[in-house]
Amino acid sequence: MLDTKPQADAANDGQEKLLEVNNIEVIYNHVILVLKGVSLSVPKGGITALLGGNGAGKTTTLKAISNLLRSERGDVTKGSITYQGERIQSLTPADLVNRGVVQVMEGHHCFEHLTVEENLLTGAYTRRDGAKATKDDLEMVYEYFPRLRERRTSQAGYTSGGEQQMCAIGRAMMARPEMILLDEPSMGLAPQLVEQIFGIVKRLNEEQGVTFLLAEQNTNVALRFAHYGYILESGRIVMDGPAKELRENPDVKEFYLGMSDDGRKSFRDVRSYRRRKRWLS
């Protein structure tokens, strides 16, 4: 049986919830309804994955949280978003960084004309704890990403896709975040590199205590590294559960694990097909 009811309330019981998205609706250009009542919660200290195919609404959800929709003519028209119990919809992205929430955008965003090290240092611009702390954190980032140390004087625009993704995550770490919203870290990268980057995300989570909400099309990798997952289809959460349970769920296996994009069916198709079958029998 498909379990299609979002269970945000049941998610990660007993753990402190850092972020809660309650039934939000997002409309672009006043007419295009993209999120149709999305709810999710992110417990402190966990890695939560937001999964789904092209155009499901993953990036829109992350941008709604970090208040980046306005520049895209998008609006949250219903629902609420709270961080540590307080509504954050009126904060600017810079205010959010001060509160400890940093977004790493889709597509390895770096400042191309700056060196790798200059990019990393831009991540510390809101900090007020002095040059020594910044220097220590730069060292911490280089320990997690030795490749960035080797490339520190290279212009970011000339580094590889994988190095740019590392640079984008390293830059977020320089703000000493409590939570990172990570959009599609696997995008365009070879499998081995994806594995390496997820491994570092897991270490940052375990050793530095950073909470992650990550959006991914790569269900397979994401469910191996995350603790909890939500599956988004056409702007709705169609399933959620502990990553281990989702990995073993027959429907998730059929639709999201080990199938090509061409062969991927949707939960909704199956639902209506089963409904039809019931109707006929």
Ligand X SMILES: Nc1ncnc2c1ncn2[C@@H]1O[C@H](COP(=O)(O)OP(=O)(O)OP(=O)(O)O)[C@@H](O)[C@H]1O
In the complex, the residues that contact ligand X under the rule CB under 6 A are 28-29, 32, 34, 52, 54-60, 72, 74, 106, 184, 217
- CB 59, min distance to Mg ion, A: 3
Query: Is residue 186 at the binding interface for Mg ion, with CB under 5 A as the rule?
Result: no
Nearer to Mg ion, 70 or 275 (CB): 70
- CB 57, min distance to ligand X, A: 4
Nearer to ligand X, 68 or 175 (CB): 68
Residue 53 burial (C-beta neighbours within 10 Å; 0-12, 13-18, 19+): middle
Q: For residues 185 and 145, give the distance between their C-alpha atoms in angstroms, rounded to a whole number.
A: 15
- Binding partner at 56 among ligand X, Mg ion, none, C-beta below 5 to 8 Å by kind: ligand X
Q: Sketch the per residue contact string, 96 through 115, with Mg ion: x for CB under 5 A, - otherwise.
A: ----------x---------
Nearer to Mg ion, 106 or 245 (CB): 106
- Binding partner at 217 among Mg ion, ligand X, none, C-beta below 5 to 8 Å by kind: ligand X
Residue 142 · residue 187 · CB < 8 Å: no
Nearer to ligand X, 144 or 230 (CB): 230
Q: For residues 238 and 59, give the distance between their C-alpha atoms in angstroms, rounded to a whole number.
A: 17
Interaction residues for Mg ion, span 43-82 (CB under 5 A) = 58-59
- Binding partner at 55 among ligand X, Mg ion, none, C-beta below 5 to 8 Å by kind: ligand X
- CB 142, min distance to ligand X, A: 30
Nearer to ligand X, 72 or 112 (CB): 72
Nearer to Mg ion, 59 or 103 (CB): 59
Nearer to ligand X, 59 or 115 (CB): 59
- State the residues that interact with Mg ion by CB under 5 A: 58-59, 106
